[in-house]
Structure 1
Amino acid sequence: MREKVKEKYAELAVASQGDAEASCCGSSCGCGGDSGVASEADTAVRVSDLSGGSYSEDERSGLPEGAVGASLGCGNPTALATLSPGEVVLDLGSGGGIDVLLSAKRVSPGGRAYGLDMTDEMLELANENREKSGVENAEFLKGHIEDVPLPDGHVDVVISNCVINLSDDKPAVIREAFRVLKPGGRFAVSDVVFLGDKAELPADVLETVGLWTGCVAGALAKDEYEGLLSEAGFGDVSVEVTSTYDPEAVDGLDTEEKREALRRVPAASAFVRATKLEGI
């Protein structure tokens, strides 16, 4: 799965430099279905249609076109996280760098923003975008979100934008986020969740929704997400749903029975928050 995701994001890094924008919550990036990758022929859905945390015009206009075009997330974690000058931020799965660049501006002066990505093509694109933007307090690192190349207690805020759902070892991701955060540090991510047990969904419904949305097939249930954060030692855990996927809009859910199954176990975009309590 990791290699399939890596290959697809490499393709998207190249494609994003053209005219079309890409979206993790659209067909062009997928992790659903038997192959783990959605086909280019599937219905594309833009991030702004699915999430309440889309980027403002001011945010988009202040960034290089390549950073905006490679925005692959399902929300805006930089709006979710209240960032202050002097803080250190880490973006897990930073892609073309949009959230890192926005974060770097908000923590200046004195702060720093790191982006972590495993895909060479995305890292190259992100560094190009950093140079074009003139942002000097941003740095992009190569690595996996399950094994962050930063020391313990190094960052104030961990953000991520529709990436943790792609990992095949989510407990490791959560543990690493906890490890690199300072006491009192915040976990503030946008992600996709199921509002119920996705095991209750028929296989053909899960496959269809996974192909349509691109990354929902690997999503956790809301209570699973909350449980993983609590087990890792986080406090103040919350998962706030920002929008749900409308079964009527999903191409391929062609019977009322299939649509009703997704109504019973909806998939949703969500803001996920938690705090590393002081003294831990």
Structure 2
Amino acid sequence: MVAVLGYSRDEIASAVREMYTAVATTPEAHFHFPVGAAGMQIAGYPHELTEGLPEAAVASFAGVGCPFRAGTLPPGEQVLDVGSGAGVDSMIAGRMVGQGGKVYALDMTPAMSAKLRDTAAKAGIENLEIREGTAENIPLSDASVDVIVSNGVLNLVPDKRRAMREMFRVLRPGGRMQIADIVIKRPVTPDCLGDPKLWAECVVGATVDEDYLEMFRDAGFEEVEVVRSFDYFAHSPSPETREVARSFDARAIELRMRRAETPPRWIGVLARRVSPKRLARQIGRRGMWGIVAFALAAVACYGAIAALAGLSLLGISLTLDDGVWSAAIGGLAVATALVVAAGWRKHRRWGPTMLAVGGSTLIGYTMIVAYHGLLEAAGFALLAAGVFWDYRIRRYAGSPRARGVAGRDSAAAANPSALT
């Protein structure tokens, strides 16, 4: 069982399913995101694609973009619509591929699948097959479809990498994927990440845009291209949702990509995930440079002592230049304090900086003026306190919960049933 800060994958899925059951059964109700014909207009569907669609399907539309902006589908293709909902995109795809093609409409919400089944039967649509399931466990055989479309789905999936691997699996080599989804610029704060209700509202389950694109490449997709990016949440009828979205700079994007001819090799995926550029971006985005600098200072000091002691037990004698060693420790301590001080621009708190400067001063004193073990240890303790205080504030800075936005307390997070 995968847990997200105390909430299991099943709890997240239950909140999402309950939200979209309401969209299927009572589309006229108030939601925190655009739905229906207005939602399709915001998503940018051209009139020629929407003309003649069943009103029932349009009424329960809850997508975030138009996946067909990435390209039309040739007649005769086999299509998978991941998270088909009431079936707007499935029906559009069905028109494009014609009777010689086929569309598999996959959704995990029974109410949505039931609505699509009823609507398709009344409209006489014959090239549509409805499957119930999730993006993480697609009930299709390997290499069975030519193209995948999806609209506002992956941001709702807890295990996105698994879903992307499943999409790769069911696509034929060279097959295409055209999706619309939600991404963010700033990582979601932990206090929001564990709220099933916020997951269902499409914001906190989203991934930072650069990471999102890299995840597709890791899964084996090539030519990953952003076709369009726009402020979807600016059209939300809920001021609270608009504020939450602004907190993380959430946007809708439309993508197209192609499945590689061969699956990715694990060594290549690992090399991409641990590349210095990618790691540096992750560290910076999460405000962890202070922790890295502190760790280097601690290793330079106590790690070197431990290494020398270990070598001496093996009968190996090694000496270090005291001046160089002291300068390295002192320099790293000062660098750590500077990184913490830079955090003031984000959170306007002087406490972490004062602790870090005090700690680095003590360390510098013991390295340059007069060494004293207790003073050195106290310096590292103060520096550590400043670093981790700064990190915690950075992680929660801008959090809508921290600012009281949306009035979401722990009781609301524990009760995802009140979804509309």
Give distance in 1, aligned partners of 2:261 and 2:92. Answer: 27
The answer to which of 114-123 and 238-247 deviates more is 238-247
Answering whether residue 13 of structure 2 is matched by residue 2 of structure 1, we say yes
Q: Is the 8 A contact 1:171 1:228 kept in 2?
A: yes
Aligned to 1:96: 86
Distance 1:142 1:243, change over 3 A: same
Aligned to 1:111: 101
Aligned to 1:36: none
Which ranges in structure 2 are unaligned for 5 or more consecutive residues? 1-11, 264-420
Aligned to 1:124: 114
Answering whether residue 145 of structure 2 is matched by residue 161 of structure 1, we say no
TM-score by length of 1: 0.78
Q: Is the 8 A contact 1:24 1:74 kept in 2?
A: no
> Helix, strand or coil for the counterpart of 1:216?
coil
For 1:36-47, list aligned pairs within 5 A.
46-47=38-39
Give distance in 1, aligned partners of 2:241 and 2:87. Answer: 34
Q: Which amino acid aligns with 1:5?
A: V
Alpha-carbon distance, 1:168 to partner: 0.7
Give distance in 2, aligned partners of 1:9 and 1:85. Answer: 31
Answering whether residue 223 of structure 2 is matched by residue 236 of structure 1, we say yes
**Identical-residue share of aligned pairs (%):** 33
> Helix, strand or coil for the counterpart of 1:230?
helix
Q: Between the two structures, name the one with larger relative contact order (CA 8 Å, sep ≥ 6).
A: 1
Aligned to 2:161: 171
Give distance in 2, aligned partners of 1:22 and 1:72. Answer: 13
Give distance in 2, aligned partners of 1:189 and 1:171. Answer: 15
Distance 1:144 1:248, change over 3 A: closer
Aligned to 1:134: 124
Q: Is the 8 A contact 2:175 2:259 kept in 1?
A: yes
Answering whether residue 255 of structure 2 is matched by residue 272 of structure 1, we say yes
Q: Which amino acid aligns with 2:178?
A: A
Aligned to 2:246: 262
More helix by share: 2
More strand by share: 1
Q: Is the 8 A contact 1:90 1:159 kept in 2?
A: yes
Distance 1:165 1:146, change over 3 A: same
Which ranges in structure 1 are unaligned for 5 or more consecutive residues? 29-43
Distance 1:246 1:55, change over 3 A: closer
Q: Spell out, residue by residue over 1:171-228, the C-alpha distance to the aligned partner (whole angstroms, 9 max, x if none).
A: 11101000000011011100011134344xx968x98xx59x9212211111111111
Give distance in 2, aligned partners of 1:252 and 1:267. Answer: 13
Give distance in 1, aligned partners of 2:214 and 2:171. Answer: 19
Answering whether residue 207 of structure 2 is matched by residue 220 of structure 1, we say yes
Alpha-carbon distance, 1:82 to partner: 2.3
Q: Which amino acid aligns with 2:77?
A: E
Runs of 4+ in 1 over 4 A off after TM superposition: 21-24, 245-250
RMSD after superposition: 3.3
Alpha-carbon distance, 1:59 to partner: 3.1
TM-score by length of 2: 0.53
Give distance in 2, aligned partners of 1:102 and 1:3. Answer: 28
Give distance in 1, aligned partners of 2:251 and 2:37. Answer: 14
Give distance in 2, aligned partners of 1:108 and 1:7. Answer: 33
Give distance in 1, aligned partners of 2:235 and 2:81. Answer: 31
Q: Is the 8 A contact 2:33 2:236 kept in 1?
A: no
